[in-house]
Amino acid sequence: MPPPASPPLPLRRLVPDQPLAAAARLYRCDPFASASSSSDDESLLAAELFPGAGAPTLLSVARGLAAEPSPSVPSVLCFLRCLPRDASPHLFPHLVAALSRSPRPLLALRLFLSPLHPAAVTHHSFNSTLLRFPLPPHLLPAFFSYSLRRFPRLSPTLLSFNLLLKCVCSSLVPRDPRLYLEIALRVLHEIMPAWKLVPDKFTYSTVVSALADAGRVDDAVALVHEMVADGIVAAEAFNPLLGAMLRAGDVKGAAKLFGYMQLKGCAPTAASYNVLVHGLLVCGRAGAAIGLMTRMEREGVMPGLMTYGAVVDGLVRCGRVKDAWKVAEEMGMNGLAPNEFVYSSLITGFCKSGEIDWAVKV
């Protein structure tokens, strides 16, 4: 007879415990028992695979489960229960990913917090949980700190903190962005150094972008200078700050930052030029935007569809529809076919200016 199903474990009642002791109790009292069911899916994971299967075979099965569009919960749980005690910890991030996309995603969180296997608690499975589990962003700092208290042997990596910052900074849309910004800055300046971790370009670009989006341009500039002082130059950090300056109408400040960026050895990317072109057009500096696009070509960075589309739309908004038409023709000569956005901008511009014949020609 199957073992009696135990009720789901309420997460708020979990208390910090040694992971090996917790795992030993969970072998006797399975928190996943209520999620299991007899199913034909379990036949896919035949018992003959265990324990004779080697690590590569088990890893292939785990990857296969994670790659399914909607993984079967019984298959994943059957695989978990059949694993040998010396199973590789590299299996469990894939199983967390599989459960997070299953019809019962909460099981991904339970797998990490109440592991069936002592090898499941690693920084790999922790990062997978941060990345995959659909936890509300404002709860992630609490989950992060709780996980470190619950599993004292768990050591977060730089990727762990970058994932945390990415999730925290993506929640700046809610009501009080200062709360999230303070958390992000505290993680960067206090918590990461305590773990002897050095920020990289992804760390800085995430926080700089959040500050720029929140309108704290001066703080973003200060953090960019801090980044450069640490020997890191990344266009991903400069680009959002350039956009924020131009949205605020500070064309001179953006030009100075663009020069400083190149002085420090950071080559502008196509995205950098796109941000500048779009910002100049928003500021009504259409001529400067076209000149920048010419410079872009001269420096070997070919304008893409997004750049041409932004220039055409900006020129139309400035009332220079004929110039926008010339840019669209140049676009075709460079092997880029104008898309619906470009055509609709031109047609709208010609119609508003009363040049119906030109609109028909488009």
DSSP secondary structure of 201-240? HHHHHHHHHHHHHTT-HHHHHHHHHHHHHTT---HHHHHH
Looking at residue 343, its pLDDT comes to 82
CATH value at residue 348: 1.25.40.10
55 has pLDDT over 60: yes
Using left for φ > 0, alpha for ψ between -120 and 50, and beta otherwise, residue 354 falls in: left
Least-confidence region, from 173-177, 189-193, 241-245: 173-177
Read off the pLDDT of each residue in 24-31 and give the average, rounded to a whole number: 41
Task: Report yes or no: 236 and 272 within 8 Å, Cβ to Cβ.
Answer: no
- Domain end: 67, 92, 120, which one? 120
pTM of structure: 0.70
The answer to the question of residue 174 being in a domain is no
- Domain end: 99, 120, 141, which one? 120
- Domain end: 120, 140, 160, which one? 120
Rounded Cα gap, residues 351 and 168, in angstroms: 45
The answer to the question of residue 148 being in a domain is no
| Residue 362 domain boundaries | 269-362
The answer to the question of residue 77 being in a domain is yes
The answer to the question of residue 301 being in a domain is yes
The answer to the question of residue 202 being in a domain is no
pLDDT digits (tens, 9 = 90+) for 295-340: 888 888 888 888 888 888 888 887 888 888 888 888 878 788 877 8
Those residues whose C-beta lies under 8 Å from the C-beta of residue 355, and which sit 6 or more positions away, are: 321
The answer to the question of residue 142 being in a domain is no
Task: Report yes or no: 311 and 281 within 8 Å, Cβ to Cβ.
Answer: yes
pLDDT digits (tens, 9 = 90+) for 252-302: 999 999 999 999 999 998 889 989 988 888 888 888 888 888 888 888 888
Task: Of 291, 289, 294, 295, give the one whose Cα is nearest residue 277.
Answer: 289
Per the structure, the count of domains in the chain is 2
Read off the pLDDT of each residue in 104-110 and give the average, rounded to a whole number: 83
